[in-house]
Amino acid sequence: MKKWGFLFVLVLSVFLISACGGDSETGGDGISEDGTLTIGETGLYTSTAGDFEVTINSVKFETGEDGEKALRGTYVVANATVTSRASKAVNIEDVLPFKIFVDNVVNWNNVTAGTEFSFGTQISGEIKDGESITGEIIFDARESETYKIMLGSKAETTKLEWDLASDDFQ
């Protein structure tokens, strides 16, 4: 009888430990459905407009040329690829609420969609199911050692986050 009790406890322990492991879910296609991502990783963002695969490909700082100076100190430019899984065509700037946190404080100076700079244009445009758009997400931010790009809000269970340190920038 002791053998069966020990075996039961052992099997139960294995199940509990394996259920607690990991901090993000990934679908069978390797796309993270929650959690914190790094540069190059793809997350699945779910909204009322549909589902979108989002990858931050790279990030860099830009100062801008004459007349383009950042109000808060620097431009953080994230090159992103968005693939639509939505059943209808949508304007990307209407359905993807990107924000940047500087030292864990939200920075509200996001650049208006479609704005053109010498270093790139804020991502915008219509996207249909199965289509992808690659472009820049541009933030006017203060200079810091750490940033977080978030898609969605902190309260959403489907939010995506990319934690960025200074060595992530090109």
Please tell me the total count of domains within the chain: 1
pLDDT in tens, 81-113: 999 999 999 999 888 889 999 998 888 767 877
121 in a structural domain = yes
Q: Is residue 84 part of a domain?
A: yes
Lowest mean per-residue pLDDT among 5-9, 37-41, 129-133, 157-161: 5-9
Q: Is residue 79 part of a domain?
A: yes
CATH of the domain at 107: 2.60.40.1240
- In a domain, residue 23? The reply is no
Query: Structural domain of residue 72, as residue ranges?
Result: 30-168
**CA separation for the pair 68, 115 (Å, rounded):** 11
With tokens 């609420």, the residue in question is 97
128 occurs within a structural domain: yes
pLDDT score at 112: 78
Say how far apart CA 21 and CA 121 lie, in whole Å.
41
Rounded Cα–Cα distance for residues 137 and 120 (Å) = 9
3 pLDDT band, cuts 50/70/90, is low
Cα gap 98→159, rounded to integer Å: 10
Q: Residue 75 pLDDT more than 60? A: yes
Among positive and negative, which fits the CA dihedral 32, 41, 122, 92? negative
- The CA distance from 34 to 49, in Å, is 18
Asked whether residue 22 is assigned to any structural domain, the reply reads no
Which is higher by pLDDT, 93 or 11?
Answer: 93
Q: pLDDT, tens digit, for every residue of 140-153?
A: 999 999 999 999 88
pTM passes above 0.85: no
Domain contains 99: yes
| 16 part of a folded domain | no
Confidence of residue 20 (pLDDT cuts 50, 70, 90): very low
Confidence of residue 138 (pLDDT cuts 50, 70, 90): very high
User: How far, in Å, CA of 83 to CA of 133, rounded?
Assistant: 7
Q: How far is CA 85 from CA 7, 18, 132, in A?
A: 46, 31, 10
Q: What angle do CA 131, 101, 134 make, to 5 degrees?
A: 20
